């Protein structure tokens, strides 16, 4: 986190979710840089949680200086390198899958949102965003998490905005998809709006693989 817990200066929080390569420190640094460019760092918190693929204890992460959790507390891990299908298990975090320790990845982000609210008492706005595989994860989390109902967090009612970046699949709540006419393959300007939806006919309306709830 870019501000220590308990800071009264924080009014806006940005939680950024890494992509498939899981280099959360890179996402953290880039978001902090953007916040600094907008001269908003004094009042803006950046948090970049990690859905890890290797063991990590609190002592490992903090260099043994943490006073918030036990030094032997283990972070959730989404990889079982000594088992078949380890690669697919490692990516299961993007689908809400359970960690080696049992925590489900959507519950982890719920906990991060709650942690921000508890530790930054003057928080007024919260943003959750992800890029690529992180965008897919955030999109699915938004559809299934109780956080964000009616545009606010469930605990304190803090306004919550969710931004999905470059997700290669998107969640749909029915079989309907935007009509092909909604994608004219040319710039329609910032106010383009298409409200025509229908159930695609495989091989005719689209060449992409799709199922009832995402594409």
pLDDT in tens, 56-79: 877 777 765 555 556 567 888 886
Specify the pLDDT at position 186.
83
Helices (H), the chain: 24-37, 58-62, 86-90, 105-119, 133-144
Closest by Cα among 15, 83, 89, 85 to 52 = 89
* Residue linked to tokens 């995402």: 214
Tokens representing 71 are 């030094």
Q: What residues form DSSP beta bridges with 125?
A: 12
Q: What confidence score (pLDDT) does residue 108 get?
A: 94
Q: How far apart are alpha carbons 129 and 120 in whole angstroms?
A: 19
Q: For residue 201, how many other CB atoms are within 10 A of its CB? A: 8
Determine the average pLDDT of the residues in 104-124: 96
- Torsions phi, psi for 66 (to 5 deg): -70, 135
Report percent pLDDT > 70 for the chain.
Answer: 82
Q: What is the mean pLDDT of residues 113-135?
A: 96
Put residue 96 in one of left, alpha, beta given phi > 0 → left and psi -120 to 50 → alpha: left
For residue 215, the tally of other CB atoms under 10 A from its CB is 15
pTM here is: 0.83
- Given a cut of 80, is residue 192 above it in pLDDT? yes
Q: In the 8-state DSSP scheme, what is residue 175?
A: S
Helix 105-119 with 133-144: angle, nearest 10 deg: 80
Averaged pLDDT, 134-155: 95
pLDDT score, position 207? 47
Mean pLDDT lowest for which of 48-52, 172-176, 205-209? 205-209
Average pLDDT in the 73-99 region? Answer: 72
């Amino acid at each position: 986190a870019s501000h220590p817990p308990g800071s009264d200066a924080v009014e806006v929080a940005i939680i950024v979710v890494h992509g498939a390569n899981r280099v959360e420190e890179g996402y953290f640094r880039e978001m902090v840089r953007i916040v600094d460019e907008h001269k908003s760092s004094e009042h803006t918190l950046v948090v970049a949680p990690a859905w890890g693929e290797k063991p990590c204890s609190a002592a490992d992460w903090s260099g043994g200086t943490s006073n918030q959790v036990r030094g032997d507390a283990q972070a959730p891990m989404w990889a079982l390198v000594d088992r078949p299908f380890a690669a697919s298990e490692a990516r299961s975090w993007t689908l809400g899958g359970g960690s080696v320790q049992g925590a489900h990845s959507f519950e982890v982000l719920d906990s991060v949102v709650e942690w921000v609210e508890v530790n930054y008492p003057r928080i007024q706005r919260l943003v959750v965003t992800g890029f690529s595989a992180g965008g897919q994860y955030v999109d699915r989390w938004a559809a299934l998490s109780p956080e964000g109902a009616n545009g606010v967090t469930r605990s304190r009612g803090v306004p919550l905005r969710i931004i999905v970046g470059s997700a290669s699949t998107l969640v749909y709540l029915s079989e309907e998809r935007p009509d092909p006419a909604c994608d004219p393959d040319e710039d329609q300007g910032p106010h383009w709006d298409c409200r025509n939806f229908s159930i695609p006919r495989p091989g005719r309306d689209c060449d992409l693989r799709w199922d009832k709830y995402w594409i």
